[in-house]
Structure 1
């Protein structure tokens, strides 16, 4: 008989660690249908017929965040055979709020009190027998990190599931509240199961469903609710929230014994006094991340990536494959497809993998030890000023290395509006693949001036801030940022297994998603550049016949679009357009494409060979606009694939891509037209359009913030209460 067991608990209570320990490698990761929340399920070790479902970390079953909606819908609609409720033993009182809601579902529950090794070390005592009697469920002490007690918890859950034993509701609220709950239960329709009626009755009273319709049909119940609210001088939602905590407090004295501690501050508190200090937090964070990126991008990661690109593929695999296919007499088009399309495409992806893995290793360690949670807390004060939460900073930070994992990191943001806005703006931060474009423009037009580099990052940050302010004033993103509720777990040394598992999951996702998209796009680009019409016949072209390629025809057809940006001088506008389009495939393609277009088979990373040719077809102002366009427009295909996956909605995906390209075009146009006016005095229709765009942007930035004042987050009160 197959058994479904759900894991439920607060964020950072050790739920994922327990899931990994119970399932090992027998797990599957995807997204819940219709949403971007990650879905994990796996088979219990030694039990092929027992499925473990890892629900999102949540604070309650009230649907105020996407995670809470997903968890509640699964528990109500799927009705797992049992629930393992993971509770943080170091903060048990706050964790029990969710537990009281779970036990109202009428599903067998095993409570796993986690982090008991830390509890024992602190001298505190949790009396499991008393806690189990008070709550009416099995209670098992565990340490998910060390693996103690987890098998016992799983066995008890399987046994309960097989017995189909319902959890008794031994807890109750104050008599006045209980009477109203009972009255609402009696008015519920017969389509709601008996064991679920109490849960639905309470949800109705908490006003997260259509209680008004029920009240119209039951004036006697409506009178009881009014009487209850008058007596407690509050709304039913707050009354029930308060009564839950009253109940929890009433059992804590008997079930938990706190040690008499002379030292008030824990080790974590002492560390936090430094790393979350108002003045020291940001400098410390800057030093930490400098070291992370110095090792992963500049030193160790750079060495591994250079070896992969230059030696493994550049000297061994690609020349070897070229020689092999030539010796066996393979057709030129097939050799080009396999060597230049397939192998080079795979190499373009794998070249970034060593850097990404080193970066993921550092980030996994910082996340597991508890520091990244502090970073989000530190940045929240700044990000909230322009409509985002502190959690948005992590994806943007990761995105400075590569946009793909940066976009994927946005799934840690609970609020759907904030998540979507973060996905749309994360790739504005220059990633590693954009650095060659910055070096190319700085070298060809500005004598390698350092300001070009730092101004690129300034433009990216400014685009994020302005986008946050502007988008928050639209109906799609209206409303104040969601209340920032985040668990700050105690600092601890992560296990090697958990860190390596995190690195593998992120790395494999990067290889799988980025690899397939870039591989396909590279093959398409090879075909467009290698085939065309010469003397009226279509066929494969020589290297010097690039002007006749399909890609050249496409570039010529779209070159007029970029004329207002100054890219069409000297009749070479199609080359600028082609280079920009190739950047949509992979940003590092831009320099290589320029090399091919200007007749250089191979170019350095900064494109030094083509500086002179490029300077003849663009002015410095137009070149800087070209740089900004490539920084802000839609990212590479791999990152676009990640955006599509995380948005999980085609309309939202195209809105994000359209916004990025539109903003890039407008900013590049303003740079060229206003810059040309200042440097040469030239004034025309394009200049007028640029001033109109600037006026529109200023209006959108400074217009009254009406939407956020009229809308409020209805879960703020209950989330603050839970915190």
Structure 2
């Protein structure tokens, strides 16, 4: 099996190409840093593996995800490198191409988005470009699959041309060439591509430096670097060696483009530019985003999601529950078994599954935002606001991802260069309202706020963002101090997402919710039912005599000041630490109605609309779920910061819920 490493700048369609070449699916989006770890797939010809590496501009890493690519090239020996470049941004993309060509492995250049380049009046002579590069160049459109068969064909060893087998060497001037040769002689035979290592070292690649320190005396390395840089400054006037090397590469690339690129016609302002005049306007950008989110929740709750959820609820609690009950009666199942299945499993898991339509509609819209190119614009319009609280617009991308699930949102913070900003983003992303919380909102807004469901849910999402921004300002000026970074992000052209891609993306995001319902929530529901079925006096006790009530009653008084001091709410909040969906399954078991009132009918006996809103505010902000806590521990590498994330969220949730409940009650709302 050959190994092909897929590398390229962010936003070149690299992960889309990976999906096409492997007939699989990976997380696809239109912003820098969508791939935060390498992913592996099998090529469609079944003769090799394709490694999808994070999008980078250079092999000198600035963030953790960029370091994945350099580490892979240092530690592995891929059979081939497949470099994805944006045909409409060729000059910028080719800087990475030069570094990959210098690595020494065969390189195939996938000239992606060739249609976009043509629409902008750019004609690329791919044959001439291939001659200049000394690599195979294949025009492709990753989203439609054009040119992908040729890419797969070139991965086969028998189809490799002389171009692919001959390593490239680019000259950097006599001084650097002497320095490169001197360092090469110091490296052992098994060090890897010596010239590439020497160049990356001189360019300041920290990961290469760490490797070379294991092979060459570190003191000699430092003296060698300082002496070479001093001579270079004296001879050329360059600021430093990395700047000089980049300028040399720029001259090489300019020569390539003069021979292979020409402008066929002048293009006016593109549709993307005209749309950006509106959606990235400093006055209109944020209001447009809020309107978009409001329409999202109208679709999710009022127009499509809730009617579908109601139909699914009627099915599960009607024919399905009655049918299973009749089947259990027919086989003579014991009362204990009937209770655990009908009240524990169907009452708990079914209470969560009824919200699947709303979850999937939300994920469909999030997928649309990603694939259309609007995601990067959201980060752009939020940059000024984020900068004021000690972050930048790039930090808002993990937060948006957190709307789907906090876990990948926190992992996406790896793309942030500054340690201070990365840590702040990790700590604050759990305040974003994930899809698991959506099941709780769906239950309460559908019961207490039927005429204003979208507005109420939007207020919760906005509250989470506002709380995160306020805390970012507080933390950045107190406990998490450090340098701020500049905000740089590519704005890809707007595209109409393909329906197949949207469906696949939605399923990949939503299947985790369904899987969790069938495993984690299933097990949790049985345990919760058992706690409600047993008590100090034995088995088959009433809920008021159960262990579940005893547990919930311990903490219930703490929540009385914020409006829901009943033991049922306390028990549900405790189980919600495992997963926020379990709050609904716990309530489905606790409030199991003996008649046709259903869960919605029962909770009206324990909550008023104001108490319900206060409960949702607390659910929004209180402790992250168990999986989120685990990934915070992994990403920060610190137990202290992990416990801090749990503790501060609990305090903030209580304070804000208390303020909301007290203020609204004082104003006469009930």
Q: Give the alignment's TM-score, normalised by structure 2.
A: 0.83
Give distance in 1, aligned partners of 2:70 and 2:597. Answer: 55
In the TM superposition, residue 601 of structure 1 has moved relative to its aligned partner by 4.9
1:459-608 aligned at under 5 Å gives the runs 459-473=463-477, 478-513=481-516, 515-534=518-537, 538-541=538-541, 545-556=542-553, 558-559=554-555, 566=560, 574-575=567-568, 577-584=570-577, 587=580, 601=594
Q: How many residues are aligned here? A: 644
In the TM superposition, residue 658 of structure 1 has moved relative to its aligned partner by 5.2
In the TM superposition, residue 81 of structure 1 has moved relative to its aligned partner by 0.4
Counterpart position of 1:13: 12
- SS of corresponding position for 2:431: coil
1:432 paired residue among 421, 430, 438? 438
Counterpart position of 2:296: 292
CA contact (8 A) 2:142 2:148 kept: yes
Distance 1:668 1:625, change over 3 A: farther
CA contact (8 A) 2:3 2:49 kept: yes
CA contact (8 A) 2:352 2:585 kept: no
Does residue 352 in structure 1 map to residue 355 in structure 2? yes
In the TM superposition, residue 472 of structure 1 has moved relative to its aligned partner by 3.3
Counterpart position of 2:250: 245
- SS of corresponding position for 1:278: coil
- SS of corresponding position for 1:460: helix
1:320-469 aligned at under 5 Å gives the runs 320-394=323-397, 396-397=399-400, 405-413=405-413, 414-415=415-416, 418=421, 421-430=424-433, 431-435=437-441, 459-469=463-473
1:657-696 aligned at under 5 Å gives the runs 659-665=645-651, 668=654
- SS of corresponding position for 1:104: helix
In the TM superposition, residue 255 of structure 1 has moved relative to its aligned partner by 1.9
Does residue 634 in structure 1 map to residue 639 in structure 2? no
For residues 9-50 of structure 1, give each alpha carbon's deviation from its aligned partner in whole angstroms, at most 9, with x where no partner exists: 11221212221221114x6889xxxx99344322211x2231
For residues 610-648 of structure 1, give each alpha carbon's deviation from its aligned partner in whole angstroms, at most 9, with x where no partner exists: 666668xxxx9x99876654332125x5xx435535764
- SS of corresponding position for 1:48: coil
In the TM superposition, residue 391 of structure 1 has moved relative to its aligned partner by 4.1
1:104 paired residue among 96, 102, 105? 102
CA contact (8 A) 2:301 2:442 kept: no
For residues 321-346 of structure 1, give each alpha carbon's deviation from its aligned partner in whole angstroms, at most 9, with x where no partner exists: 12221232112222222233333443
- SS of corresponding position for 2:349: helix
In the TM superposition, residue 113 of structure 1 has moved relative to its aligned partner by 1.0
Counterpart position of 2:201: 203
CA contact (8 A) 1:44 1:52 kept: yes
In the TM superposition, residue 84 of structure 1 has moved relative to its aligned partner by 0.9
Distance 1:36 1:311, change over 3 A: same
Counterpart position of 1:230: 234
Which stretch of structure 1 is more off in the superposition, 6-15 or 338-347?
Answer: 338-347
In the TM superposition, residue 266 of structure 1 has moved relative to its aligned partner by 2.2
Give distance in 1, aligned partners of 2:98 and 2:460. Answer: 51
CA contact (8 A) 2:441 2:616 kept: no
Unaligned runs of 5+ in 1: 681-723
1:271 paired residue among 265, 269, 275? 275
Counterpart position of 2:311: 307
1:256 paired residue among 231, 254, 261? 261
CA contact (8 A) 2:621 2:652 kept: no
Distance 1:427 1:440, change over 3 A: farther
Counterpart position of 1:157: 155
CA contact (8 A) 2:38 2:68 kept: no
1:114 paired residue among 112, 115, 129? 112
For residues 196-222 of structure 1, give each alpha carbon's deviation from its aligned partner in whole angstroms, at most 9, with x where no partner exists: 443344234415235898573265664
Give distance in 2, aligned partners of 1:117 and 1:592. Answer: 50
Which stretch of structure 1 is more off in the superposition, 15-24 or 35-44?
Answer: 35-44
Unaligned runs of 5+ in 2: 29-33
Give distance in 2, aligned partners of 1:331 and 1:274. Answer: 65
Counterpart position of 1:712: none
CA contact (8 A) 2:531 2:547 kept: yes
In the TM superposition, residue 274 of structure 1 has moved relative to its aligned partner by 2.2
Give distance in 2, aligned partners of 1:676 and 1:116. Answer: 59
In the TM superposition, residue 83 of structure 1 has moved relative to its aligned partner by 1.0
In the TM superposition, residue 98 of structure 1 has moved relative to its aligned partner by 1.0
Distance 1:362 1:114, change over 3 A: same
* RMSD of aligned residue pairs (Cα, Å): 4.1
